[in-house]
Chain A
Amino acid sequence: MSESKFVTLPLDDEGAKALHAGDIVRLSGKILVGRDAAHKRIADAINAVGEPPFSIDNEIIYYAGPAPTPPGAVIGPIGPTTSGRMDPYTPLLLSKGLRGMIGKGKRAPEVLAAIREHNAVYFGATGGTAVLLAACVKSAERVAYEDLGPEAVLRLEVKEMPLIVLADCHGGDLYEIGPAEARKVIEQG
């Protein structure tokens, strides 16, 4: 494994294919933020009218709900929430052009399959590093669902956000590979 890969959004098919589970990434560009309630609404809209209420084509969505923004700050602490709760919606969103997700925790087999099928990528941010992640946010604006408060959909511009590729479009899953490799290292002493 090499040192950090500097990745700038948007990602195309080739860009996604160049990423592999275990890659340490510094991500720059524009991303969306949305979690539980926003996912439900986006999925409901797609199921009702066939399209999401705003374009998610080639977008990366960060599963997070920030703490309140203190005066003078761009955004409050914003760490990842557990991705698994978004599993029921993710294959649908990927089929509508979503390029990737940022979160934490294992994904369902259907999600991993959809990541392979659509040349997508699942990035991990480290849980409990909310201030560090907020420091990467250069601007923040609301995109939709203001009534959801901390669960509203945001657009962030991030600079060199520290991430690790958790699952890639080649079938790699760091939650399988990483602990297995670690156990080997531990056994060897």
Chain B
Amino acid sequence: MKIYKITAEEIAEKVRELALAANMYLPEDVKSSLAAARAAEKMLQARAVYEEIIKNAELAAEKYMPICQDCGMAVIFAEFGQDLFVEGGGASDALNEGVRRAYADGYLRKSVVSDPLFARKNSGDNTPAVIHWRVVPGHSLKITVAPKGMGSENMSRIFMLKPADGVEGVVNAAVETVRAAGSNPCPPVVIGVGIGGNFETAPLAAKEALLVPCGKRNPVGFYAEMEERILNEANRLGIGPAGIGGSVTALDAHIVARPTHIAGMPVAVNLCCHALRHASGRIEGRPCNE
């Protein structure tokens, strides 16, 4: 079989490019959802907030400045084609090097402290990134960089539900998370729901759910219906943009479901602020010489 090559430098440069793009440019699907929310909003103050959010995204792109001063921890999903060979350094080191370059070159805020409890000293370059590797068939490396601020991360929750809690249990967990969060996660939020797996699976599935484009429904009918229900119930809370009252509290809700144990049903609810930032790209491997 054939082996394909990419270099650590290519990986670092790709991550740099994606981290900069994610921080400066709001994805089109999020922009469309915000425009639709503004059009649907009946409250005067809430409409003013939408105007600001939409104008801010335009200005950020125009001035090439980060959408939010909280440029987050850099979450990276990396799908590594198993026929690849990385030359010139460690692949994870290269991902972190890309983050380091982007946060320096883009004047992005560095928000990572190396020890969580005692020193809490800023690492100075926003590393380490939060990295999720996955090995897949093929010979390319797909990278998604999703900077995530802490305001909405702090309002996210995990529930170890019983299988008998059923659909109601999951919907209630999601809506209760949005209700309890109030204005803190910078609504309008996007609701990522991860169901199943183990204690550690559900939150990762919830994070992946946030990467599903706004407006896209789960391909499985039952889950698609639940997404609609969670969205509708969250939007009846009246929290509104910035939490000051309004008819749109959530732009969308997405569910990612995973196989789980006969005795359990973990549910994680990961909220994201209206600055739902992510960018993806791919590096193709080149065939190595025989």
Contacts and interface: CB of A to CB of B under 8 A. Distances in A.
Chain B associates with chain A: yes
Interface of A: 1, 22, 24, 64-70, 73, 76-79, 82, 104-106, 124, 126-132, 134-135, 150, 162, 164, 166, 174-175, 177-183, 185-186
B266 interface: no
Contacts of B247: 182, 185-186
Nearest to A64: B69
B48 A166 contact: no
Interface in B134-191: 151, 182-184, 186
B198 to A, nearest CB: 32
Nearest to B243: A175
A127 to B, nearest CB: 4
A131 B60 contact: yes
Interface of B: 42-46, 48-49, 52-53, 55-56, 59-60, 63, 65-71, 107-109, 151, 182-184, 186, 235-247, 273-275
Given A67-B71, A76-B69, A182-B247, A128 B53 contact: yes
B45 A185 contact: no
Contacts of B186: 104, 127-128
Contacts of A82: 151, 184
B52 A67 contact: no
B276 to A, nearest CB: 10
B43 A182 contact: yes
Contact of A186 (B65, B71, B238, B242): B238
A65 B69 contact: yes
B273 A178 contact: no
B243 A129 contact: no
B69 A164 contact: no
Closest 3 CB pairs of A and B: A178-B245, A182-B238, A183-B238
B273 A134 contact: no
A174 B238 contact: no
15 contacts: A67-B65, A76-B65, A77-B68, A105-B184, A127-B273, A128-B186, A128-B275, A132-B59, A150-B109, A164-B45, A174-B245, A178-B45, A179-B237, A183-B237, A185-B43
A27 B273 CA distance: 25
A3 B49 CA distance: 13
Contacts of B59: 131-132, 135
Contacts of B275: 128
A183 B236 contact: yes
Given A22-B45, A104-B242, A185-B42, 11 more contacts: A65-B109, A68-B107, A76-B109, A77-B67, A129-B53, A130-B56, A178-B243, A182-B246, A185-B238, A186-B235, A186-B247
Contact of B238 (A106, A128, A180): A180
Contacts of B69: 64-67, 76-79, 130
A178 B246 contact: yes
Nearest to A4: B48
A35 B273 CA distance: 21
A124 B52 contact: no
